[in-house]
Amino acid sequence: MKILVINGPNLNMLGIREPSLYGSGTYDALCEKIHKYCNEKNIEVTFYQSNHEGCLVDRIQAAYSDGTDGIVINPGAYTHTSIALLDAVKSVCIPTVEVHISKVEEREEFRQISYIRLACVATITGKGFDGYLEAVDTLLERNV
Ligand code: DQA
């Protein structure tokens, strides 16, 4: 099984940005944690992070032909604005799980909209870095 983990804008700033919301772990630490977890489960995992909406769309489209079986995505603020990301996930028809480190449903009004959720098989929020591992498990369960 091959999983692609996509992180959107400002998630490269993990460990620096708002640690009270997102914790003190860095983006590299997040990738290492997911990588270790996937290794234990014999899952091939690749990572992609960009601050640019079009680059995120390009990477989702590339997943269509690179053998990706499942996508874990934290689109960051593009969650709340991007119909382009929603359409990209719909286009490739690859099971996708939406993850948010913070509990978005308890935050500002503008964070209550998620466009990408309409194309996702599950949403995990407020579980910190562990939410990504839960997303991997969700994809794994679907593939068994
Ligand atoms: C986030 C929540 C978003 O609202 C925010 O813009 C982010 C991070 C999260 O992981 O909790 O960048 O997706």
Tens of pLDDT, residue by residue over 116-140, are 999 999 999 999 999 999 999 999 9
Domains annotated for the chain, with CATH where assigned, are 2-141 (3.40.50.9100)
Q: Ligand 1 in contact with 116 (CB < 6 A)?
A: no
DSSP reduced 3-state for 7: strand
pTM for the full predicted model = 0.97
Using alpha carbons, select from 107, 136, 110, 138 the residue that is nearest to residue 42. 136
| Residue 143 predicted with pLDDT over 80 | no
pLDDT tens digit string along 16-64?
999 999 999 999 999 999 999 999 999 999 999 999 999 999 999 999 9
State the catalytic residue, choosing from 22, 48, 78, 132. Answer: 22
CB 47 within 8 A of CB 116: no
**Which structure tokens are listed for 130?**
């562990």
Q: Ligand 1 in contact with 101 (CB < 6 A)?
A: yes
User: Ligand 1: which of 102, 114, 124, 125 to mutate, judged by most atoms within 8 Å of the beta carbon?
Assistant: 102
Q: Specify burial of residue 134 (Cβ count, 10 A radius: 0-12, 13-18, 19+).
A: middle
48 is catalytic: no
Q: Ligand 1 in contact with 79 (CB < 6 A)?
A: yes
